[in-house]
Amino acid sequence: MLVIIYASMYVVVPAILLGTIGGWTFLVYAVWLFGSYHVVKKSCEEREHMPMMEHTDAMGVMMFISVPTVLSALVFFIIYVLLNIL
């Protein structure tokens, strides 16, 4: 189930957006990265015992949100460039 969600989030949705709004898709990537980091940081700050990100929170954001988002953006940027050249 998690693989299906990841595939739709990082492959299917960007492909649809690339066909629909074109290059503006890359603005969505920036908003997604900043928004997900901000949500995790705000959630960590609301904890009473330690109002900051722990190492596990930071690693989770990096491994499961930031790295796949950057890789997906890179792949779709290459595809976007190749489609516009041809």
Q: Phi-psi category of 54—alpha, beta or left, where left has phi over 0 and alpha has psi -120 to 50? A: beta
How high is the pLDDT of residue 31? Answer: 92
According to DSSP H, which parts of 1-86 are helical? 2-7, 13-21, 25-45, 55-61, 67-85
Q: Which residue range is the domain that position 21 belongs to?
A: 2-85
Amino acid (one-letter) located at 49: H
Q: Give the C-alpha separation, 72 to 41, whole Å.
A: 23
How high is the pLDDT of residue 84? Answer: 87
Nearest to 32 by CA among 51, 17, 44, 46: 17
Number of domains comprising the chain: 1
- The number of angstroms, rounded, from the C-alpha of 57 to the middle of its chain's C-alpha atoms is 16
Instruction: State pLDDT tens for residues 2-47.
Output: 778 877 888 888 889 988 998 898 999 999 889 888 888 888 888 7
